[in-house]
């Protein structure tokens, strides 16, 4: 409770209310006010989520901070919120990134400032809703609502080809979600008229139905993750999105898909999940190896990091579908770390883009000469992206690889190739952009980070190093829920 109000509801609605307030500031004459309200709202929005961590009871897998109210009684739909060890960290991660994107767009966004800031605030509330919803309809509403601000962010503040990218993004994800809706309605019928996700977890289902539901969920979630071969919207969306859009897309939105696998697919249809795990592992490993290779030759920095994201998310789905503690917790840690690291990398590219208006690697060279502080931060995040121990990027990959060895040595063998590919594409890009003699007159005129940018990067650097050196606080909180999930998934739900 915060001032007598339930924590999760506050976490969801406070940023949305602030978003509306920001919108109310009107046109760009009031831009400074809009920025200020947005920053205040996003910082408070983060602070109110902290009780979720500090007040979290670690030795239970039960839902906590539960809020349950009637919503649409005709169909037995509830306003039902709660968190467990799996979702709680993502709520904090979402709220953590909102002030960062507000700050990142502080100077850069000059047109329609209020709308821009409001989009991010509203989106933040909606995404927290996705992670906290325990009613399938509520979840679906948040899930689809999430598309709208992102569609606007790409479509309005995006680059040259923004309309193609925005439509591709919208259609890809919408088509996937519609299948999920069908599955949810089916489950509503099977569960005897309940939309509660936790009730879905208990419904016995024959194998054919399980497989169909798994496939329906797969399209919804795999597109968001994104998994190979439904990943091609992501590079386009990233390239066209403004920096803040890319950051939220990479840091939070991709996690929503992976979260779906944990909250829906695996516990609702465990037998199908086991049966199809071979295919899921194969797709994950293709993502790691194939996409890792594709990233190597990208000439556009954002595309490169986008492909790198897909490759890193391959570790997440791999970790899920090997069904053991190392894999599952490693995957969750990888999701959090990937949020920090890819978010930071997109901010790095944003910093360069703001100054040079190019994302092309070939336009750079020798940036270290003119931007030494930036080069140091970029080095740290590049190393984290290559999975260097001591940074957060290592923890998840390490755990997933350890988990994969247990299941099949060759899974681990394929996954561990990221040690080479991940380092190759990241550091090769770094070399071409940052090292070398000053490449051209534009690079020579670059100015180093401003105080605002330094603050953003310093916060992220501390987080990346902190999580790398001491990941225990991140992993401890998820033990009970992960153990429970693994036990649940190991039990067959086929009708006797």
Partner 1 sequence: MSMQNLYLLVPLAPLVGAVAAGLFGKCLGRAWSHRITIALVAVSFFASLAIFRDVMAGAPVFNAPVYTWLTSGDTSFQVGFLIDKLTVTMMLVVTFVSLMVHIYTIGYMQEDPGYQRFFSYISLFTFSMLMLVMANNFMQLFFGWEAVGLVSYLLIGFWYKKETAIYANLKAFLVNRVGDFGFLLGIGLVLMVFGTLDYAAVFANAASHAGDMAPIPGMSVNLLSAICILLFIGAMGKSAQFPLHVWLPDSMEGPTPISALIHAATMVTAGIFMVSRMSPLYELSDAALSFVMVIGAITALFMGFLGIIQNDIKRVVAYSTLSQLGYMTVALGASAYSVAIFHLMTHAFFKALLFLAAGSVIIAMHHNQDIRFMGGLKKYMPITWITSLIGSLALIGTPFFSGFYSKDSIIEAVALSDLPGSGFAYFAVVAGVFVTAFYSFRMYFLVFHGKERFADTHHDDHGDHHADAHDDGHGEHDEHGHHGSGKPHETPWVVTLPLILLAIPSVLIGFIAIEPMLYGGYFGDAIFISERHPALHEMRHEFHGAFAMTLHALTTLPLWLAIAGVASAAYFYLKRPDIPAAIQKRFQGIYTLLDNKYYFDRFNDWFFAGGARGASRFLWKFGDVKLIDGLMVNGSAKLVGMLSGVVRRVQSGYIYHYAFSMIIGVFVLLTVRNWF
Q: Tell me which residues touch partner 1 (CB under 8 A).
A: 168, 171-172, 229, 232-233, 290, 293-298, 324-326, 329-330, 366, 368-369, 379, 383, 388-390, 394-395, 398-399, 401-402, 404-406, 408-410, 412-413, 416-417, 419-421, 423-424, 427-428, 431, 434-437, 469-472, 475-476, 479
Residue 367 makes CB contacts below 8 A (sequence gap 6+) with 352, 374, 375, 433, 434, 443, 446
Which of residues 47 and 424 has its CB atom nearest to partner 1 in the complex?
Answer: 424
Alpha helix (H) ranges present in 288-391?
292-296, 301-321, 325-356, 367-370, 372-385
| DSSP labels, 194-222 | --BHHHHTT----HHHHHHHHHHHHHHHH
Q: Which is nearer to partner 1, 40 or 439 (CB)?
A: 439
Q: The tokens 């991010």 sit on which residue?
A: 120
> What is the DSSP track for 7-23?
HHHHHHHHHHHHHHHHH
DSSP letter at 265 equals I
| Residue closer to partner 1, measured from CB, 220 or 272 | 220
d(CA 71, CA 325): 37
Query: Residue 75 or 410: which CB sits closer to partner 1?
Result: 410
Q: Give the chain's end-to-end CA distance (angstroms, integer).
A: 43
What does the block give as tokens for 135? 């009613």
Strand extents, DSSP E, 26-72: 64-72
Rounded least distance, CB 326 to partner 1, Å: 5
Give the residue with the Cβ less far from partner 1, 423 or 459: 423
| CB 64 to partner 1: min, Å | 21
Cβ(101)–Cβ(122) below 8 Å: no
| CB-CB contact of 327 with 319 (8 Å) | yes
Minimum CB separation from partner 1 for residue 373, in Å? 10
Contact in structure between 371 and 448 (CB atoms under 8 Å)? yes
Residue 89 to residue 472: CA distance in whole angstroms: 13
- Our CB check for partner 1 shows the closer of 186 and 435 to be 435
Structure tokens at 487: 């036990």
Q: Which is nearer to partner 1, 43 or 459 (CB)?
A: 459
Residue 64, SS3 per DSSP: strand
| Torsion of Cα atoms, 14 then 10 then 466 then 415, to 10° | -90
**Whole-number minimum distance, CB 494 to partner 1, in Å?**
27
Give the Cα separation of 263 and 317 in Å (integer): 13
Q: How far is the CB of 65 from partner 1 (least distance, A)?
A: 24
Closest CB 145 distance from partner 1, rounded Å: 24
As a whole number of angstroms, the distance between CA 121 and CA 126 comes to 9
User: Which lies closer to partner 1 via its Cβ, residue 253 or residue 395?
Assistant: 395
Minimum distance from residue 358 beta carbon to partner 1 (Å): 20
Q: Which is nearer to partner 1, 9 or 418 (CB)?
A: 418
Considering the complex, what minimum distance in angstroms separates the CB of residue 203 from partner 1?
Answer: 29
Least distance (Å) from partner 1 to the CB of residue 56?
Answer: 16
């Amino acid at each position: 409770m915060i001032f007598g109000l339930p924590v999760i509801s506050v976490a969801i609605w406070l940023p949305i209310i602030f978003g509306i307030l920001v919108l109310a500031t009107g046109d760009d004459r009031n831009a400074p006010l809009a920025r200020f309200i947005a920053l205040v709202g996003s910082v408070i929005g983060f602070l109110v989520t902290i009780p979720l961590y500090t007040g979290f009871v670690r030795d239970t897998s039960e839902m906590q901070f539960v809020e349950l109210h009637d919503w649409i009684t005709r169909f037995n739909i509830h306003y039902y919120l709660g968190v467990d060890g799996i979702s709680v960290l993502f709520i904090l991660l979402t709220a953590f990134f909102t002030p960062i994107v507000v700050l990142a767009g502080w100077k850069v966004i000059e047109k329609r400032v209020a709308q821009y800031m409001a989009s991010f605030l509203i989106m933040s509330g909606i995404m927290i809703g996705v992670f906290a919803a325990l009613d399938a309809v509520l979840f679906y509403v948040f899930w689809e609502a999430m598309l709208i601000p992102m569609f606007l962010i790409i479509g309005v503040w995006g680059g040259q080809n923004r309309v193609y990218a925005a439509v591709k993004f919208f259609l890809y994800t919408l088509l996937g979600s519609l299948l999920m809706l069908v599955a949810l309605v089916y489950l509503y019928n099977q569960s005897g008229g309940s939309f509660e996700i936790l009730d879905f977890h208990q419904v016995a289902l024959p194998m054919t139905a399980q497989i169909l539901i798994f496939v329906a969920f797969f399209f919804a979630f795999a597109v968001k993750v994104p998994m190979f071969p439904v990943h091609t919207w992501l590079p386009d969306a990233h390239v066209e999105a403004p920096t803040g859009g890319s950051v939220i897309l990479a840091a939070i939105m991709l996690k929503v898909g992976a979260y779906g696998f944990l909250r829906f697919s695996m516990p609702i249809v465990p037998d199908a999940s086991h049966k199809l795990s071979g295919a899921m592992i194969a797709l994950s490993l293709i993502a790691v190896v194939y996409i890792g290779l594709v990233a190597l030759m990208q000439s556009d920095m954002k595309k490169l990091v986008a492909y790198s994201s897909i490759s890193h998310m391959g570790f997440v789905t791999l970790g899920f579908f090997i069904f053991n503690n190392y894999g599952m917790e490693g995957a969750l840690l990888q999701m959090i770390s990937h949020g920090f690291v890819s978010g930071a990398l997109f901010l790095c590219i944003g910093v360069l883009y703001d100054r040079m208006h190019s994302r092309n690697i070939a336009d750079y060279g020798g940036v270290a000469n003119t931007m030494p502080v930036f080069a140091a931060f970029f080095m740290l995040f590049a190393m984290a992206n290559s999975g260097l121990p001591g940074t957060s990027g290592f923890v998840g990959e390490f755990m997933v690889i350890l988990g994969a060895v247990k299941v099949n040595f060759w899974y681990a063998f394929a996954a561990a190739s990221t040690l080479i590919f991940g380092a190759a594409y990241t550091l090769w890009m770094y070399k071409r952009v940052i090292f070398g003699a000053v490449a051209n007159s534009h690079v020579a005129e670059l100015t180093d980070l401003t105080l605002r940018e330094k603050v953003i990067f310093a916060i992220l650097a501390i987080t990346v190093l902190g999580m790398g050196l001491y990941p225990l606080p991140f992993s401890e909180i998820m033990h009970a829920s992960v153990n429970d999930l693994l036990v649940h998934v190991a039990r067959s739900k086929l009708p006797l």
